[in-house]
Chain A
Amino acid sequence: MVKDYLEGKPLRHPLHPMLVHFPIGLFFLSFLFDLASLVFPSQMYLVRDSFYAMLLGAIMALVAAVPGFVDYTDIRNDHPGKRTATAHLILNLIVVGLYGINLGVRSSMLSDPRIRTGPFVLSLVGICLLCASGYLGGRLVYDDGIGVGRHKRHMPPPRDTIHLTVPIPGADSVFVPIMAAQQLRERETLRVEIGGQIMTIAKIDNQLFAFQEFCTHRFGPLSEGKFEGFNVQCPWHNSCFDVRTGKVTNGPAKVDLKILKVEMREGKVGVPLPRQIKST
């Protein structure tokens, strides 16, 4: 529950990207005051203004960090964006640490007419790292779709991709049992890779369905999609597909999904695959 709030689900908007406007803007404002104090040392209080802007920025950075951590833990472990997210997290912690030191150094020099070199350099480094980190955060959203459409989903997304190997091909086709599929709850999904093929396994109306993981519009992750009736909705641009047939039921996607049959053989749930898929 708390997690849902920190992910911004009641707001239908992730919290972390909302809150980060404040530290970014305020640290930037603080730096502008530093510059102003160097150019106009006759102006009183610029150093003090800079301190207050920085203090407010640091407080807001700590506030924004909490939902940020939660968002981080929600990214699938083998997601291509996970490394970017780790770098974003580490950089942000360094930035907050630097500003903490910076505030400590400044607290004893509030009545200076111009900022001293030490804290000025700290701010400069802080701003540069913050820009880099903010850029990475933006790439997470706009390249990797992290947090996009997440609030529409009711169930938690898969934490990992399950990798299964294809057994030695049989006479007609190979049958790959998927043990984890037996424990799925209603509208929950698995992300499964078998012989290079990546698919979503979803449980709807007590039946299991398997279909390609990637949306046919811009390749959004359907294992993180929203389910309504027998439709899966891509979290990114809201294309809808019927999971029984793979047919597009709502655009922008135009191409149907590849679907796979889910069968029960010898008490095991799995997918039969045509023989041409090689074992890895």
Chain B
Amino acid sequence: MNRLLDFLKGKWLGHPLHPILVHVPMAMWPGALIFDLLSKWQIGGNAMVRLSFCAIVFGLLASLLAVPAGVVDWSGIKKEKPAWKIGLYHMILNLLVALLFAINLGLRVQTFREATTVAGVPLLLSILGTALLIGSAYLGGMMTYTYGISVARMSKDKWRKIAEAGGANLPPE
């Protein structure tokens, strides 16, 4: 169990795992929207419809691993910290987005092989999903860049040495 947790935290990589994995849905789903819009504007035809379908599938596959990795990172934050609540909203939004794209995918399964343009409801779902995803990703970025979640977690020994050499007061080990 501990091994699994360490794996999900990215200790084996020396880099938190969740922010790496999220690149995939974060690129695929807005990508799907772009492909949808191109197909609506009669550019690319069926190629765009299928691109969009595949992009949604790959995004969902990556989120299967990104979700547990994110939950593990979040569970390490103390509840009284502002980042805990932001993390909670980030998680709820992400689950909602994943659900929206799963429904979106379900609506496309029948038609994506032949259709030359995307239907109205899946397009709306792509727009909604992408908008929520951007909001959610912004919250995720805030956790890193404003609250420093996972920052210097794996490099603290290196920094302790540098600070010690620089004559600083240090926290107890």
Contact = CB atoms under 8 A, between A and B. Distances in A.
Interface range, A side: 35 or more
A53 B28 CA distance: 10
B85 interface: no
Interface string B115-138: 000000000000000000000011
B141 A17 contact: yes
Interface string B142-158: 10111110111111101
B27 A219 contact: no
A142 interface: yes
A147 B30 CA distance: 25
A141 B144 contact: yes
Contacts, number: 173
B27 A147 contact: no
Say what secondary structure dominates the interface of chain B. Answer: helix
A43 to B, nearest CB: 9
A56 B31 contact: yes
Given A141-B151, A212-B169, A219 B162 contact: yes
B169 to A, nearest CB: 5
Interface string A238-280: 1000000000000001111110000000000000000001000
B44 to A, nearest CB: 7
14 contacts: A12-B142, A21-B137, A28-B58, A29-B31, A49-B54, A138-B16, A138-B20, A142-B151, A145-B148, A214-B168, A218-B151, A219-B152, A255-B171, A255-B172
Interface of B: 13-16, 19-20, 22-24, 26-28, 30-31, 34, 44, 46-48, 50-51, 54-55, 58, 137-138, 141-142, 144-148, 150-156, 158-160, 162-163, 165-172
Interface of A: 12-14, 17-18, 20-26, 28-29, 32-33, 36, 45, 48-49, 52-53, 56, 80, 134-135, 138-139, 141-145, 147-152, 193, 196-198, 212-214, 216-220, 235-238, 253-258, 277
Given A214-B159, A214-B166, A218-B152, 11 more contacts: A22-B30, A29-B55, A36-B54, A52-B48, A134-B20, A148-B148, A150-B145, A219-B160, A235-B148, A254-B171, A255-B172
